[in-house]
Amino acid sequence: MAHHNGPRKKTRYLLKKDMRKRGLPPVSSLIQHFEIGQKVHVIIEPSIHKGIPHRRFHGKTGTILGQRGRAWVLEVREGDTRKIIIARPQHLKAQ
């Protein structure tokens, strides 16, 4: 077998939605606006594949640094380091 290392590797249960929450999210999650310095949670929306952050950041809380096109730039702490993430608003929830 070939070695598979895609971006959604080992996410079979991590990115699974409940039966009644399947399908596309509401439009209000797409048009969210955040202020610079605001805290947001990174909750990956599995039905939207564009602008998805890496699975290691699912459930983390970050600070908004700015906007880049339709996506938002976040700073997330991971251990002692600070990581910069670019994610679309469907994958973010205001704290």
Q: What's the pLDDT band for 14 if we cut at 50, 70, 90?
A: very high
pTM of the model: 0.90
Tally of domains within the chain: 1
- Whether residue 4 lies inside any domain: the answer is no
Phi, psi of 7 (to 5 degrees): -70, -20
The pLDDT of residue 4 is 86
- Whether residue 9 lies inside any domain: the answer is no
- Whether residue 13 lies inside any domain: the answer is no
The predicted-structure confidence for 23-41, as pLDDT tens digits, reads as follows 999 999 999 999 999 999 9
- Whether residue 38 lies inside any domain: the answer is yes
Residue 43 pLDDT > 90? yes
Mean of pLDDT values over 48-57: 95
The pLDDT of residue 24 is 94
- Whether residue 28 lies inside any domain: the answer is no
**Residue 80 domain boundaries:** 34-94
Give CB contacts under 8 A, 24+ apart, made by 72-75. 72/34, 72/40, 74/40, 74/42
CATH of the domain at 89: 2.30.30.70
